[in-house]
Chain A
Amino acid sequence: MSDVTLPLPQSASWPRPAPRPLALLLLALGVAIFFLLELMIGAVHIPLAQVVTILTGGEAERITWDRIVLQFRMPRALNAIFSGAAIGACGLLLQTLFRNPLADPFVLGVVHGAKFGVALVVVSAGLAGNAFAQRFGWIGDLSLAMAAALGSTFLMLAILALSRRVSTITILVVGLMLGYLCQGLISVVLHFTDETQARVFESWNDGSFAGITSTQLRILIPAVLAGLALAHSLVKALNALLLGENYARTLGLPVARARILAFAATAVLSGVVTAFCGPIAFLGIVVAHLCRGLFNTSDHRILMPAVTLMGALLALAADLVTHLPWSKHFLHLNAVNGLIGAPVVLWVLLRSRNGKALEL
């Protein structure tokens, strides 16, 4: 307003969109607590004091505890933290990109695209699972991650191409069908490998944070950090995209570039997690909606850090449930996710009055 200067409004009633540092801090605290619980709880209970001693470089009362914490539980906990954060961010990115509150890497079938990428690599190498890892070492792991990221990218591009013609709900069916298509293709591809390797690949089908190697962690953590950094650098663009592409463009956003970057972040995050943990169901969608509900905003400047922390928190919590010492059976991670995730999806669907006006 260079031409006319009005007196500044004096009223105190103007809302200031304040960031919520306290709530984010609480989330971070929750992650820390669950991280410690994850290290303490399992078939063998290790007291908190001992865990802290081990973490700070001291010696535990029993030498086995040292190994349990550092070699078994620690990689798993770190995997849950970084993978969970990645999936949480993916959920939010996809929901805003597709303007669809039900989008997430699992629902849209992006993880199946990643799986297909992995299947191609595994089959061309003739080995799956640990045998693959032993033979090819970190190069093998890296190629798995890259293949998965490529697979995710292709699937997202396919959905993007189709999404211009279909409604919000139909796109989920499109994602579902593309997912089935990928699964069919995976079966066909696995046909060309031997039976044992096919079975190993199938078992990887159940998402899990366990069994990650330190080599894989060395790929996962930097990749996730890079993906998250990219996602966080896009918060302003994502806010503009809330208004739709046309408005975003008139606000000065180079829409095509922002979309490519957001897709790249999603592909890296979703790809690397799927490569090392298998398909993780529902986590992205649950995390995004939980954060919107808790923080009561669609502002990505708040939501992006929130989903990152919440993703890590929920992944740790879900993983903890799968290996509670008093549970009689071994619960699959995706079973736990489904128990929480499916009701959330149903709630989002039923909440919209006409089934079309879904809101982000």
Chain B
Amino acid sequence: MTILEARGLSAGYGSTAVVSALNFTLRRGELVCLLGPNGAGKSTLIRTLCAMQKPLAGEVLLDGASIHHLNPRDLARKLSVVLTERVTIGILTAYELVSLGRYPHTDWTGRLAAHDHAIVRRSMEAVGADALAARNISELSDGERQKVMLARALAQDPSLMVLDEITAFLDLPRRVEIMRILRSLAHDYNRAILLSTHDLELALRTADRLWLLPKGGPLATGAPEDLVLSGAFEQAFASEGVDFDQVQGHFRLHNSFHAELHLDGDGPRALWTARALERQGFRVTRDNPSLPLRVELAEGEWRVYRHGACQPAATIECVIDCLVPHD
């Protein structure tokens, strides 16, 4: 079921359109990641989709109604937002903060009925923040805080959640955890979730669909895998000195190799050794043992052969030191 639809949408500031003539839809129960290089207009698009700014042209329909004409309360019942900005309020427990999510549903005093309390609790459980309930917001780590903000957005009971780079401050395990939560919110709770992120690899693995916004280019939408195979993904992020590895599904630095080297061995040690060598500008081959430069994996150590001379190395760092002498 379509929740959000954009028709000929142009967004920007003043008379300058940052993105123009966009048409897209968002369905219930899907997690969509909005990706794009810096300056492509992701934030502008997000702000426009949340009715934080007016579109330059076209319209955005939420459940069939134009969001820029909905009154704030009705909009808040259908759309909740989590932003990058940190909330620095003092003396409020996580539970009280999540309770604020019931804002568009309560009377003028903001008093929560039993039904509201139940939703607050379910929301906190859904994102795994129930253990934080009694904690003060100012004591929480960034990851915990974002979980609580997510629970608050969920407590609003919206059909669509828009999340603007909410994983930006988090370390990798926390980012993976948040993505897992988002998937479950979208699939198990049948919400539509739009997440703008810079985390390309994580988005490729978790999103149901991607919205790719290249600089100045049209928005490309589709399953992550289709966008990778069609080359749209690589194109959107095309940049000097960076290559997209279609096989591995990640970006890597573009190397200019200055020497060729044979690597003997296999397993994770060989993989990481190869990565280190490539970083240092060696083209690593596995099938040319006659090369003057060779690295061999032995029990507990590495052996570096340079023009016949053999040197043992205890770590990869030592291997590099042997091959690339530092003055």
Identify which of A235, A240, A299 contacts B103 (C-beta below 8 A): A240
Contacts of A2 in B (CB 8 A): 157
A292, chain B: closest CB distance, angstroms: 6
Which residues of B come within 8 Å of A, CB atoms? 50, 52, 72-77, 79-81, 83, 85, 87-93, 95-97, 99-101, 103-104, 106, 108-111, 117-119, 121-122, 125-126, 130, 133-134, 138, 156-157, 188-190
B125 near A6 (CB under 8 angstroms)? Answer: yes
Is there an interface contact between B133 and A297, defined as CB atoms closer than 8 Å? Answer: no
Residue in B79, B103, B133 whose Cβ sees the most chain A Cβ within 10 Å: B103
Q: Please state if A253 and B91 are interface contacts (CB–CB under 8 Å).
A: no
Q: Can you list 28 A-B pairs with a CB-CB distance of less than 8 A? A: A1-B119, A1-B189, A3-B190, A6-B126, A9-B130, A15-B134, A17-B93, A236-B106, A236-B109, A239-B100, A239-B110, A240-B100, A240-B103, A242-B92, A243-B89, A246-B52, A246-B83, A247-B81, A247-B87, A249-B72, A250-B76, A252-B72, A252-B74, A252-B77, A253-B72, A292-B90, A359-B88, A360-B89
| Contact call A233/B108, Cβ cutoff below 8 A | yes
Whether B81 contacts A236 by the Cβ 8 Å rule is no
A244, CB-defined interface residue at 8 Å? yes
Contact B96 A243 (CB under 8 A): no
Contact string against B for A residues 211-252, beta-carbon threshold 8 Å, 1 for contact and 0 otherwise: 000000000000000000000010110011011101101111
Interface membership of A357, Cβ < 8 A? yes
Contacts of A252 in B (CB 8 A): 72-77, 103-104
Interface centre among B77, B106, B122, B134, by most chain A C-beta atoms within 10 angstroms, is: B122
Question: A349 → chain B, closest Cβ, in Å?
Answer: 15
- A347 within 8 Å of B (CB atoms): no
Question: Which chain A residue lies CB-closest to B50?
Answer: A250
Question: Which of chain A's residues has its CB closest to B107's CB?
Answer: A236
- Chain A residues contacting B90 (CB-CB under 8 Å) are 101, 292, 298, 359-360
Please tell me if A63 contacts chain B, counting CB pairs below 8 Å.
Answer: no
Cα distance A253–B108 when bound, in Å? Answer: 11
Beyond the given A1-B119, A243-B100, could you list 11 further A-B residue pairs with CB under 8 A, ordered by the A residue number?
Answer: A1-B157, A2-B157, A9-B121, A16-B117, A233-B108, A246-B83, A247-B83, A249-B72, A252-B72, A252-B76, A299-B92
Minimum CB–CB distance from B186 to chain A (whole Å) comes to 12
Considering the chains assembled together, what is the distance between the CA atoms of A109 and B113 in angstroms? 41
Within 8 A of B (CB), among A1-22: 1-4, 6, 8-9, 13-17
Shortest beta-carbon contacts, A-B, top 9:
A252-B76, A359-B90, A236-B110, A252-B104, A252-B73, A250-B81, A251-B103, A3-B190, A242-B89
Q: Dominant SS at the A interface?
A: loop
In the bound complex, CA of A246 to CA of B153 (Å): 13
Closest CB-CB distance, B190 to chain A, in whole Å? Answer: 4
Provide the residues of chain B in CB contact with A233, threshold 8 Å.
Answer: 108
Q: Are B118 and A8 in contact (CB under 8 A)?
A: yes
Contact A9 B125 (CB under 8 A): yes
Q: How many residues of A contact B (CB 8 A)?
A: 38
Partner of A235 from the list B73, B96, B110, B134 (CB cut-off 8 Å) is: B110
Query: A14 with B95: in contact, given A9-B121, A9-B125, A250-B76 (CB under 8 Å)?
Result: yes
Q: CA of A13 to CA of B183 in the docked complex: distance in angstroms? A: 28
- Asked if A254 is at the interface of the complex by the 8 Å CB criterion, the answer is yes
Kindly identify which residue among A8, A253, A296 contacts B121, using a CB–CB cutoff of 8 Å. Answer: A8
Query: What A residues does B80 contact at CB under 8 A?
Result: 250
A251–B97 alpha-carbon span in the complex (Å): 12
Among A243, A246, A254, the residue within 8 A (CB) of B72 is A254
Contact B125 A246 (CB under 8 A): no
Task: State whether A17 touches B110 (Cβ < 8 A).
Answer: no
Residues on the B chain within 8 Å of A359, using CB:
88-91, 138
A359 to B87: give the CA distance in the assembly, Å.
Answer: 10
Say yes or no for A332: interface residue by CB 8 A criterion. no
Minimum C-beta distance from A243 to chain B (A)? 5
Q: Does A301 contact B (CB under 8 A)?
A: yes
Query: For the complex, what is the distance from the CA of A17 to the CA of B91, rounded to whole Å?
Result: 12
- Contact partner, B190, options A4, A298, A299, Cβ 8 Å: A4
Q: Chain B: which residue is nearest A101 at the CB level?
A: B90
Cβ of A236: which chain B residues have Cβ within 8 Å of it? 103, 106, 108-110
Q: How far, in Å, is B134 (CB) from chain A's closest CB?
A: 5
CB distance from A62 to the nearest CB of B (A): 49
Q: How far is the CA of A265 from the CA of B25 in the complex (A)?
A: 44
The residues of A that contact B50 with a CB separation of less than 8 Å are: 250
A270-298 interface mask toward B, CB cutoff 8 Å, 1 = contact, 0 = none? Answer: 00000000000000000000001000111
For the complex, what is the distance from the CA of A16 to the CA of B188, rounded to whole Å? 27
Q: Which residues of B contact A239 (CB under 8 A)?
A: 100, 110
